[in-house]
Amino acid sequence: MASNTDTANTGAGSARNEPATMGFAARRSGLPAPMQLEPGQVIDRFRLEEKLHTGGMAHLWRVSEVNHAGDSRLPLIMKVPRIKGGEDPATIVGFEVEQMIMPMLSGPHVPKFIAKGDFTRQPYIVMERIEGPSLKPRLDAAPLPLDEVIEIGSRVATAVHELHRQHLVHLDIKPSNILFRPDGTAVLVDFGLSRHDHLPDLLDEEFMLPMGTGPYMSPEQIQFVRNDPRSDLFALGVMLYHLTTGERPFGSPDSVRGLRHRLWRDPTPPRAHRADCPPWLQELILRCLEVKPERRYQSAAQLALDLQSPAQVVLTRRAERLQRSGAWKTFRRWFTALGAEPGEPQASATGQLSKSPIIAAAVDVDGASDELLERLRETVRRLVQTEPGARLACISVMKTARIGMDELVDGEGRSVHVKQLVGLKHWARPLAKLLEGDDARLTFHVLEAPDAAAAIVEFARRNQVDHIVMGARGASGLRRYLGSVSSQVVAESDCTVTVVRAAGGAAES
């Protein structure tokens, strides 16, 4: 559930699915009783010196490193989660996320990561302590002089852009999570709600309520989209609006229903609150606060550039507005938002799917034997015949390298992708007759991925596949060496999977 304060992170809802619930339960069952922390106590190689802050999610301690030689050591801070006996899943999972993310980050815009402690004993993160202040006191003093608003916005946008370059979407940009070094460099902290492209998204896997801090959450976060860096630009727009006007553009909602209002209600233009706000700054702020990400700035670097070069800001009707949109426009936005629910099927989708299942035939057109390809085709034929409304999606995976360059053509100069597509269509030609020439019911997909099983599973989930049919490697030695794609698909898929073998027929899981 979203927080309505600047100082607290979100909570979370119930578990999204059974495996995620079991994952959290396993972690919770192994948690030790919360350790009583006192000044002078030594945890691993760190001595607790002074408790600096207690927030809704964690305690912050000033610490020193025991037996550390030299005078150039960094000032350190230890972050310890408030486990509260293990009953708070958002605290635990969010701390796990931060422990995974912090070692992946570097540069002046993040605290230097030093060490972390395991949940089996005492969870913690030790990092560089930033000596400068947070932005929160300046928010409390808003509205600020415009020169200061512009300088703050430029520095923070620069920091956000650097995090985006490191594959991170922060998803909790707010003044209390922004610190400044003595030289004025902005530093972003608190990555418990963040999404890193190269790490599993535990929050998305385990919770089913919007994650963020209420006033700063983007429309797409409210709709469970967590991988768009333009969400951070929306939060920057909220912050700039507040620093400029002293008001929050969307108030402080404390419910999901309240959060959703920003999907159709635009904020009062800043110039209606503050007459000396220049048109270019209003243009910039309202552009950040657009509902659709494609209408915002497309990078934080672009935003920083406009803040530093206001004469180059292209003015639109946003710049001159002095009041919110009228009732009719607001109603149209509401209606549009009502009809486009990410994550929820259309009203007739369930009934339509039950009448017209999607069958995915995963075909190894290059590696399977002729006997296996024929058995696989015969199994698919029987399924299509028993489901007259079925759609058949024929898929093949073109393996790509995890590291290095892929060979896109074969030895004869032919496109590998096209060659695989032609082989897939050739395999499915006898099946086309069963579908009476209806091209919409027979589709072909060559997926490019380093992990064939993961690509098949993801395709099935994304396209709501009801049944996967695939072949299994026949040579036991090859299975031991390469692993079993079919067993991984069976283990990870949410739908029925039929595995066909060259000898012995099909085995369904």
- Give the pLDDT confidence of 488-503 residue by residue, as tens digits: 888 888 888 999 987 6
- What's the pLDDT score for residue 273? 95
Is the pLDDT score of 479 beyond 70? no
Q: How confident is the model at residue 482, as a pLDDT? A: 43
Between 146-165 and 279-288, two packed helices, what is the crossing angle to 10 degrees? 30
pLDDT digits (tens, 9 = 90+) for 437-470: 555 467 788 888 888 899 899 877 765 577 899 8
383 backbone dihedrals φ, ψ, rounded to 5°: -65, -45
Strand order, beta sheet including 58-65: 42-43, 46-54, 58-65, 76-81, 124-128, 113-117
Closest CA to 397 of 460, 445, 467, 462: 445
- More confident call, 59 vs 389: 59
Looking up tokens 């040579």 gives: 475
Task: Report the alpha-carbon distance of residue 214 to residue 255 in Å, rounded.
Answer: 8
Whether 188 and 110 have beta carbons less than 8 Å apart is answered as yes
In angstroms, the CA 49 to CA 61 distance is 7
Handedness of CA 467, 469, 475, 478 (dihedral sign): negative
pLDDT for residue 438: 52
The answer to whether the CB of 474 falls within 8 A of the CB of 501 is yes
Do residues 395 and 421 make contact, with C-beta atoms less than 8 angstroms apart?
no
Omega before residue 108 within 30° of 0, cis: no
Task: Tell me the three state secondary structure of residue 384.
Answer: helix
Distances (CA, A) of 481 to 13, 485, 489, 498: 42, 12, 17, 23
How far is 458 from 476, CA to CA, in rounded Å? 26
Q: What is the average pLDDT across 70-77?
A: 74
Residue 46: closest CA among 37, 55, 36: 37
How far is CA 100 from each of CA 7, 82, 105, 206, 276, rounded to the nearest angstrom? 22, 18, 10, 16, 45
Please write the tens of the pLDDT for every residue from 218-247. Answer: 998 888 888 889 999 999 999 999 999 999
Q: Which residue has the tokens 């509205």?
A: 143
pLDDT of the residue at 106: 95
User: Would you say residue 12 has pLDDT above 80?
Assistant: no
C-alpha 446: how far from its chain's center? 25
Q: Kind of pairing, strands 442-449 and 391-399?
A: parallel
pLDDT, tens digit, 9 for 90 and up, residues 409-419: 655 656 777 88
Nearest Cα neighbor of 441 from 376, 505, 380, 363 is: 380
Q: From the CB of residue 292, how many other CB atoms can be counted at a distance below 10 Å?
A: 9
d(CA 7, CA 2): 12
- Return the percentage of the chain with pLDDT > 70, whole number: 76
Domains of the chain: 18-128 (3.30.200.20), 136-337 (1.10.510.10), 353-508 (3.40.50.620)
Confidence band, pLDDT 50/70/90 cuts, at residue 285: very high
> Over the stretch 125-152, which tens digit does the pLDDT of each residue have?
999 999 889 999 999 999 999 999 999 9
In whole angstroms, what is the distance from residue 471 CA to residue 485 CA?
9
The continuous run of DSSP H or E covering 427 comes out as helix 416-432
Three state DSSP letters for 271-301:
HHHCCCCCHHHHHHHHHHCCCCHHHCCCCHH
Q: Is the pLDDT of residue 157 over 70?
A: yes
CA distance 163 to 106: 9
Sign of CA dihedral 483, 487, 491, 492: positive
Whole-angstrom distance, CA of residue 274 vs CA of residue 99: 42
Residue 408: how many other CB atoms lie within 10 Å: 12
Instruction: State the virtual CA torsion across 23, 27, 28, 33 in degrees, nearest 10.
Output: 180
pLDDT at 68: 65
pTM for the whole structure: 0.62
Query: Helix, strand, or coil here: 312?
Result: helix
In this prediction, what percent of the chain has a pLDDT beyond 90?
A: 33
Contact 340, 333 (CB under 8 A): no
Where residue 20 falls among pLDDT bands split at 50, 70, 90?
A: very low
| C-beta of residue 280 within 8 angstroms of C-beta of residue 312 | no
Ranking 36-45, 81-90, 356-365, 432-441 by mean pLDDT, the lowest is: 432-441
